[in-house]
Amino acid sequence: MKPAPFEYHAPRTVREALDVLAEVAPRDGRVLAGGQSLVPAMALRLARPAHLVDINGVKDLERLAVAAGALEIGACARHAAFHRPVVDGPLGLLLSEVARHIAHYPIRIRGTFCGSLAHADPASEWCLVAATLDSRVVARSVRGARTIAAADFFRGAMTTALEADELLAETRIPLPAPDTRFGFSEFSRRAGDFGIAMALATYRVHGGVMTEPRIGIGGVENAPRRIAQAEAALEGKRPGKEAFLAAADAVARAVAPLDDARCPAPYRREVARAMARRALERAAA
Amino acid sequence: MEFDNTLEVPLPPAEAWRVLLDIRRIATCIPGAELTEVVDERTYKGKVAVRIGPVALSLVGQARLEEVDAANQRARVTAQGSDPKGRGSTDAVIEFRLEPAGAGTRVLIHSDVKLAGAIAQYGRGTGMIRSVASQLIGQFGEALKAQIAQAGAGREPGPARPISGITVLGKAAWDSIARSPEKPPSKP
């Protein structure tokens, strides 16, 4: 099917993009980045935006660089950019490990990191990374720029703190300490499908025990989040079966899973438990 | 699909009951809602804008207060709506029940929502639709709380969403609330 008619805008600079967005946002204007969620919804005529603001021609948004202790990911950086580590140390390796799980290769060539965050699908891998690593997103509009912590950004399934006239211009992921260990685990019935549950775990080991543990769960609830109870079960414990099982149990107890005909909540809870354990085991390996 | 939500209202149950049945007032607190016609005391026409990711729907239809049990503070509302672009329709039965919660009131909301058409397939099943419904109810609760707080403080209510057709009436209702916080306007 063809999409419903819309007006197409192709700004060349961030300033132009914000100006046109301010103008068309009240009339259902949308930002087009990789288009891997928006365009299929338009082709099905489920989404019928009146205006599209295509940011693919804005060179400044392709930025992917380290500054002030954080990896800065511009709005036009594609998933595929992370296939190989983009930064030395654990973060580059972590992003490259996670990127392989995102949909399929052709989608990764076009889809963008920031677009995933703005779309906020509950099963988005990048949203899980952003939430677990306490990333910050930079929202820009003609009214100015503001920085939003990931924990405040995701408001629910496909709902974010972003206003209609705001462009998610950049995401900043703090660089973890060089000795940070990480593990990621995701389960979906077919490769590339939306995950039923996924977990990202990171921690450091000092004097034989875990410090700064983080464990985030995605695909299970309306939005990904860190599970404080599971992190408490890891802090100061030796990395191993006992602590990992305790943390996985804490995850299973803490989550309020999405429930639908294909995947009932009790099943999703068990998958979340298994993913948490595997992510922790992979971090230890 | 059926789901339950709760809402806290900072008013005692008797007052909360009156406020919640004041449909003209309530409509201004529903995110994206617009009351277009008051057919009779129990039947209201309007539209609700719902957004699920890139999909922005406007459901046009009517809501009717089917049962109002003042003694037990329970009410049943039926609502039907359809998207003018043909993307789907909804048919909902919503039951409200009030119970005291400290100095305020807890509103227990049980919804049975049927979705039909293309929209029913978007969002991968009921989980996401439920999430959107919870968010709507959450936003509604915040808006209602803010309105009650503003009325209580005797201030002019904040900027309202366009409520075409009933703007003047809605404003009048707000003004009377602002004047006498202890005595919300009686049901029209």
Residues pairing with B100 in the sheet = B105
The reply to whether the predicted model has a pTM over 0.90 is no
**CATH (residue range A181-284):** 3.30.390.50
Kindly state the DSSP code that residue A78 receives in the 8-state scheme.
Answer: B
What are the pLDDT tens digits along chain A (285 aa)? Answer: 799 999 999 999 999 999 999 999 998 899 999 999 999 999 988 899 999 999 999 999 999 999 999 999 999 999 999 999 999 999 999 999 999 999 999 999 999 999 999 999 999 999 999 999 999 999 999 999 999 999 999 988 888 999 999 999 999 999 999 999 999 999 999 988 899 999 999 999 999 999 999 999 999 999 999 999 999 999 999 999 999 999 999 999 999 998 877 889 999 999 999 999 999 999 999
For residue B51, the cross-strand partners are B56
Give the per-residue pLDDT at B166: 29
- The architecture in CATH of the region A7-54 reads 2-Layer Sandwich (3.30)
Q: What's the gap between Cα A253 and its chain centre? A: 23
Give the separation between CA A24 and CA A16, rounded to whole angstroms: 12
Judge whether B25 and B143 are in contact, CB under 8 Å: no
Which of B85, B128, B142 to mutate to probe the A interface, most A CBs <10 Å? B128
What percentage of residues in chain B have a pLDDT greater than 90? 23
Which of A31, A155, A158 is the best substitution to test chain B (most B C-beta atoms within 10 A)?
A158
- In-domain check, residue B163: yes
| Residue B180 reports pLDDT greater than 60 | no
Where does the pLDDT of residue B177 fall: very low under 50, low under 70, confident under 90, or very high at 90 and above? Answer: very low
d(CA A73, CA A112): 10
Q: Where are the domains of chain A?
A: 7-54, 61-174, 181-284
- Nearest chain B CA: its distance from A261 CA (Å): 7
pLDDT tens for residues B61-103? Answer: 999 999 999 999 999 999 999 999 888 888 889 898 999 999 8
The per-residue pLDDT for B179 is 35
Whole-angstrom distance, CA of residue A90 vs CA of residue A102 = 19
| Nearest to A124, CA basis, from B138, B93, B53 | B53
Pick the residue from chain B with its C-alpha nearest to A220. B127
Q: Please report the pLDDT score of residue B24 as a whole number.
A: 84
Domain count, chain B: 1
Are the C-beta atoms of residues A103 and A19 closer than 8 Å to each other? no
- Residue B109: CA atoms inside 13 Å, Cβ hemisphere, count? 23
Inter-chain residue contact A156 with B85, CB threshold 8 Å:
no
Q: Please answer yes or no on whether B127 and A45 come within 8 Å at the CB atom.
A: no
In a domain, residue B182? The reply is: no
Confidence of residue B48 (pLDDT cuts 50, 70, 90): confident
Interface check for B10 against chain A (CB to CB < 8 A): the answer is no
What is the rounded CA–CA span in Å between residue A249 and residue A139? Answer: 36
CATH number at residue B136: 3.30.530.20
- Choose from A240-249, A254-263, B107-116, B172-181 the range with maximum mean pLDDT: A240-249
Domain carrying residue B42: 2-172
Query: Does B188 reside within a domain?
Result: no
Look at residue B36 and tell me if it is in a domain.
yes
pLDDT at res. A119: 95
With respect to residue B91, please indicate whether it lies within any of the assigned structural domains.
yes
- In angstroms, the CA A129 to CA A126 distance is 5
Whether residue B171 is predicted with pLDDT greater than 70 in this model: the reply is no
Out of 3.30.470.20, 3.40.1180.10, 3.30.465.10, 3.40.50.2000, which CATH number does the structure's domain A61-174 have? Answer: 3.30.465.10
* pLDDT given for residue A156 in this prediction: 85
Q: Are B171 and B148 in contact (CB under 8 A)?
A: no
